[in-house]
Amino acid sequence: MASAPDKGDVVPLLTLFITKEKFFKNSKRVVLLTEKSFVSLETETLKRATPYRNILALGPGGKINQFNLKIPEIAETYITETPNEKDNCLAILYEFRKAATRKAEERKRIKLLQKKAYSDELEETSIELCSVSFAKLDVNNEERIYSSKYIKDIELLYNFKDENDSIAIVFSDKSKSYYKVTEMQTGNFIKLMQGYLKKYYNKDVTVKTSTVSEIIPAPVELSARDRIFGFPIKKYSKKLNITENRIFCITSTSICICEGFKVLSIHPINQLKRITTFEDDPTRFELEYSNSTKSAPSTYYCDERDTIVANLMSTTGLYQGESPIYDLSGVRFQYYLRGSCEFRPDPEMEDYYLRRLAKLSLATPNLVQALKEFNENIPQSYPFQTKDRRGLVHVIEMLQVALAQFEKGQPGLVSTIIELLQVVQRLMSSRLYYSDIKQVRNAQILFSDLIRSNDDRIVSAAALTLLRIIEQPKVFQGKETKAEVFTRASFVQQKTKPHQ
């Protein structure tokens, strides 16, 4: 078998860690999903690269944590750690194959009337059901999907005693969609969705009977006194492909999007996962929530964007273990993985990404995307179990060179510096690496220079990283060690030095 190609210049859209079933001994595989192919590696040896168009069949296997994949040469069975990971792998592979071949096993288009949450209004909606998703179509252009959720994320279905022509769909993130079924009986529509889930995921979904008032939230108004703050913003509507005037409000427990005092959506603030700002537009920001089933983040525009972000930072906390990620790099990762499909790392995965990290340099093509791959797959508070000091030393050295080049006027390095700082934050979240940073040559001088940068985004990212270094020992279980006390004290001293 050939060796795996050098992936430094081609960052996979997604990487899966699964096991291939074999007759004598199962084989651990790293599967790279590119735009056109399914690439299978075994300990960095290329075993197979299969274009999605050559996948003849795909579906659940004989056990709840297995799925089958058939290509012209062979039929293969893959094993995941949990049934949920099996569903995630199938949903993602169905999606990639559909995008590459522009087809799905079967699809059904249906016209419905949708009732929006916290509203009595009904609006005409066309949806498409297929092996991948429950997708909403533009009523004026049914080739345009403006929103979709994986059908594997359907958790519960409701029919209503007081409205025989209506149903509600509850997804795994507890979001709900309410529809009036106009083209068929509600029972047949429910059976259609159950059939797709059974066929493509071997998954059963429960159907319950209730009343509309018990399931669908009534209209809500948010008074001025309940708001910690509120800012006029423009929210991007995927359906209309325009921005709409809204009020962005924070309460003690929630983020609310309002039209005047009328609430249009509510998200618990403790579920905020990521805040992203963008380099090409100083007014734009995006919010993502934990376990979200949405096909894209929520996008907003506001001249006071940085004030909103600062208030969110203050409200949610800067350095708690599960506080939101503040992505100030201005660049989004090339593939958006829904929160409902995230894979929790294990020692095998962390070792893979640490080895990938050690191979990067400032000359690596697509470096920002490669760093983002690490940051996307390693959670901010992940407790590393693999000890690889090269990773930390290497990243600090790259930071030192990148900052020196930036200060000499080399363009295009701000996003690189911020992504490197995010890598440092992840490494510093583990007790395994925390005290090592004090041993890295000139690390304190580096942070002193970073927080004196003439670029506001670098200053913000460096200050946030420094705060995490200072406060992180509070998160560790057990008593703070002498080395950790010394490390924190050293960086506190750097933080409090006056600007020169």
CB atoms within 10 A of CB 58: 20
Q: Give the model's confidence band at 9: pLDDT under 50 very low, under 70 low, under 90 confident, else very high.
A: very low
Residues 363 and 466 in one domain: yes
For the chain, the residue count is 500
Is the pLDDT at 105 greater than 70? The verdict is no
CB 182 within 8 A of CB 112: yes
Please give the Cα distance from 11 to 33 (Å, whole number): 10
Is the pLDDT at 498 greater than 50? The verdict is no
1 lies in some domain: no
Place of tokens 């006390």: 485
DSSP string, 410-435: -SS-HHHHHHHHHHHHHHHTSHHHHG
Phi then psi for 450, rounded to 5 degrees? -65, -40
Is the pLDDT at 439 greater than 80? The verdict is no
Q: Give the model's confidence band at 8: pLDDT under 50 very low, under 70 low, under 90 confident, else very high.
A: very low
Nearest to 418 by CA among 379, 389, 381, 453: 453
pLDDT tens for residues 171-192?
999 999 999 998 889 999 999 9
Range of the domain at 191: 107-215
86 lies in some domain: yes
Residues 294 and 347 in one domain: no
Residues 371 and 475 in one domain: yes
Residues 52 and 129 in one domain: no
Residues 403 and 255 in one domain: no
CATH code of the domain covering residue 65: 2.30.29.30
- Cα angle 484, 488, 493 (rounded to 5 degrees) comes to 150
Please give the Cα distance from 176 to 221 (Å, whole number): 19
2 lies in some domain: no
pLDDT tens for residues 403-417?
999 999 998 899 999
Residues 345 and 480 in one domain: yes
User: Which pLDDT score is estimated for 99?
Assistant: 87
Q: Kindly state the helix (H) or strand (E) to which residue 374 belongs, with its residue range.
A: helix 367-377
Task: Measure the CA dihedral 457/463/469/475, to 10°.
Answer: -90
Residues 359 and 448 in one domain: yes
pLDDT tens for residues 370-392?
999 999 998 887 777 766 656 78
How much of the chain is helix, strand and coil, in % rounded to 5? Answer: 35, 30, 35
Domain boundary among 215, 235, 261: 215
Please give the Cα distance from 307 to 164 (Å, whole number): 48
Average model confidence (pLDDT) across the chain: 86
- Three-state DSSP at 1 gives coil
To 10 degrees, what angle do helices 482-496 and 456-471 make? Answer: 150
Number of compact structural domains in the chain: 4
DSSP 43: T
Residues 345 and 490 in one domain: yes
User: Which pLDDT score is estimated for 4?
Assistant: 47
Amino acid type, 139: V
Residues 177 and 311 in one domain: no
Please give the Cα distance from 350 to 374 (Å, whole number): 9
The residue that leads in pLDDT, 279 or 360, is: 360
Residues 151 and 264 in one domain: no
pLDDT tens for residues 134-149?
999 988 888 889 999 9
